[in-house]
Amino acid sequence: MPAALSPKPTQSSSTTAGLSPSSSMTDVVTSSPDRSYYYLSSHAATVLPRYQYHGEDLSLLYKHVLSPLAGGLVERIPMWVAPNVITLGGLALMALSYGVIWACCPGLYEGNEDVVSNLHGESRGGVPSQIFLLNCIAMLLYQTLDNMDGKQARRTGSSSPLGLLFDHGCDAVNSIFGSGNWICAMGLYPGRIDGNSSIISQLFGGEAVLAALLILCPMIAFYVSTWEQYYTGKLVLPPFNGPSEGLLLGASLSFLSWYKGVMFWHETGLADGLFAWCGMGEMLTGRIRNLDLIVLSSVLALCQEVALKVAFVIRKHGVGTVKSLMPHFLLVASSIVLIAYDNTLLVRSPRTVMHLIAGLFVEQTTQLMLDHMVEEEFLITKRFGLYPLVALATLMVGCDGHVSKFISVQALDACLLAYTTGLWVYLAFKIRVLIYEICDVLGIWCFDIVTPYESSLCYENGDTNDDITMAEASVDIVNSTLQVDLTRKKVV
């Protein structure tokens, strides 16, 4: 189920807090042409403050239920609460739910009593069903807070391009939280099951590929929507979309796992009833599980949405736009190859593989959004983090899955762990520096809309000048040899 795209225009206008009335944000940036940053070019620093978001959510559920609900709740929030705090709070709830389910289902399948019993040779009680109720509640709260943050930004006059990018980035990170928890809630064993009669599993190449599709489908929908916005300048969410209906259905999935039990998804009642109603009961009875319907509907919905968006962008902007899809295509193709050729990989290292895919997805998507905002080209060759995965997938195809000819299974898993760890360390650094640079360009704080923004360079004698502009305090953040105390904003 595609999830977590945010159409809200509420944190995307160029209204910002912390600038003196006598100087606009654009004047501050353009008056310091020599100012340089690590990630933001001089052109980006000039263009970013002028960015205006354009988007529309066509969902009737959002229009008549979710938006009014968020609007009523946001009135109860103090005016001093920054919109990004609300965004981060929603992500923290999903991270908490993900952590709890990870502790109970480290291998993703522990809720499946049949698989656990077969693997360990004894009957097991499964996992606490309450963890799936927790995930249901966390998803609903995340959805509500995700709608509230933009309304709070409009209400307080603190909308900014940073808010849009921060909201988009949190939604990208949340994608893996939702997908991972859904797999656990359905007790999908991401490996080979002898005697599996599910025709959907056989059609796609096994249970591991089904798990991969549940991970990748929301990411593909997210990336393609961001890609469309990159070229058209407008994000339009269809009448049935991930942030509204998708998250609600995902919460319902978790609720059913709590109410009916995980094994409900391995029954065939829903599919049998559906096909009996269509007159195909004798042919397909008992061969399509309830979880197969979830996977199949996700894939079909994704294919329709991607086809429509890609056709629209190509028709309006030419076939050359397809090249910007290449990094994500390589990510998706390499991930499926890796999982399909090594059908025990998700059993041995499920969380490592999931986090690796998620890290590459977050880097691609947030960079694509940033390049859209600053009107710069999305450079395919700069997706350095993707190279090792593509190389590994190529090696896997070349040796027909027998990678043990070149490297042991233990060494492969260790390499993937090191790869994933290094990727997320790099992402943490990039996110931290980008937030600092964007805040400096816009003259705002990320989590504070009350305190006036201070320049990163003040007078060495301890005196401050409230009227100092960013241009007068211009300093090269990367190459400067000055030591700056970021907590006091003074040279030390």
pLDDT digits (tens, 9 = 90+) for 341-399: 888 899 999 999 999 999 999 999 999 999 999 999 998 889 999 999 999 999 888 88
How many other C-beta atoms are found inside a 10 Å radius of the C-beta of residue 482?
Answer: 12
Among 32-36, 135-139, 278-282, name the one with the lowest average pLDDT.
32-36
The pLDDT of residue 24 is 38
User: Are 22 and 469 a contacting pair, CB within 8 Å?
Assistant: no
The pLDDT of residue 328 is 96
User: Are 413 and 344 a contacting pair, CB within 8 Å?
Assistant: no
Name the region of 485 (left: φ>0; alpha: ψ -120 to 50; beta: rest).
beta
Q: 66: which residues sit within 8 A by CB, 6+ positions away?
A: 59, 143, 144, 147, 244
Q: Average of pLDDT values for 73-99?
A: 96
Rounded to an integer, what distance in angstroms lies between the CA atom of residue 368 and that of residue 330? 15
Q: What does residue 201 show for φ and ψ, rounded to 5 degrees?
A: -65, -45
The single-letter code of the amino acid at 288 is I
C-alpha of 410 from chain center:
29
Nearest of 479, 464, 478, 348 to residue 489 by alpha carbon: 464
User: Are 36 and 477 a contacting pair, CB within 8 Å?
Assistant: yes
HEC secondary structure over the chain: CCCCCCCCHHHCCCCCCCCCCCCCHHHHHHCCCCCCCCCCCHHHHHHHHHCCCCEEECCHHHHHHHHHHHHHHHCCCCCCCCHHHHHHHHHHHHHHHHHHHHHHCCCCCCCCHHHHHHHHCCCCCCCCCHHHHHHHHHHHHHHHHHHHHHHHHHHHCCCCHHHHHHHHHHHHHHHHHHHHHHHHHCCCCCCCCCCCCCHHHHHHCCHHHHHHHHHHHHHHHHHHHHHHHHHHCCEEECCCCHHHHHHHHHHHHHHHHHHCCHHHHHCCHHHHHHHHHCCCHHHHCCCCCHHHHHHHHHHHHHHHHHHHHHHHHHHHHCHHHHHHHHHHHHHHHHHHHHHHHCCCHHHHCHHHHHHHHHHHHHHHHHHHHHHHHHCCCCCHHHCHHHHHHHHHHHHHHHCCCCHHHCCCHHHHHHHHHHHHHHHHHHHHHHHHHHHHHHHHHHCCCCCCCCCCCCCCCCCCCCCCCCCCCCCCCCCCCCCCCCCEECCCCEEC
Is 80 exceeded by the pLDDT of residue 56? yes
Is 70 exceeded by the pLDDT of residue 18? no
pLDDT in tens, 242-281: 888 999 999 999 999 999 999 999 998 887 787 777 666 5
Q: What tokens appear for 168 in the block?
A: 């988009």
| Helices 387-398, 326-341: inter-axial angle, 10-degree rounding | 40
User: Are 171 and 88 a contacting pair, CB within 8 Å?
Assistant: no
The pLDDT of residue 13 is 38
Q: Any bridge partners for residue 490, and if so which?
A: 485
Rounded to an integer, what distance in angstroms lies between the CA atom of residue 266 and that of residue 288? 9
The pLDDT of residue 270 is 83
Q: Which of 121-125, 273-277, 430-434 has the highest mean pLDDT?
A: 430-434
Q: Average of pLDDT values for 173-183?
A: 95
Is 70 exceeded by the pLDDT of residue 85? yes
User: Are 360 and 385 a contacting pair, CB within 8 Å?
Assistant: yes
The pLDDT of residue 2 is 41
Q: Average of pLDDT values for 405-410?
A: 82
The pLDDT of residue 241 is 85
Quickly state the pLDDT bin for 205 (edges 50, 70, 90): confident
Rounded to an integer, what distance in angstroms lies between the CA atom of residue 353 and that of residue 347? 10
pLDDT in tens, 217-229: 999 999 999 999 9
Nearest of 254, 208, 481 to residue 354 by alpha carbon: 208
Quickly state the pLDDT bin for 121 (edges 50, 70, 90): low
User: To the nearest whole number, what is the mean pLDDT of the chain?
Assistant: 83
Q: Average of pLDDT values for 325-340?
A: 95
Q: Average of pLDDT values for 316-339?
A: 94
Is 90 exceeded by the pLDDT of residue 3? no
Is 80 exceeded by the pLDDT of residue 473? no
Rg (CA), the chain: 24
pTM: 0.85
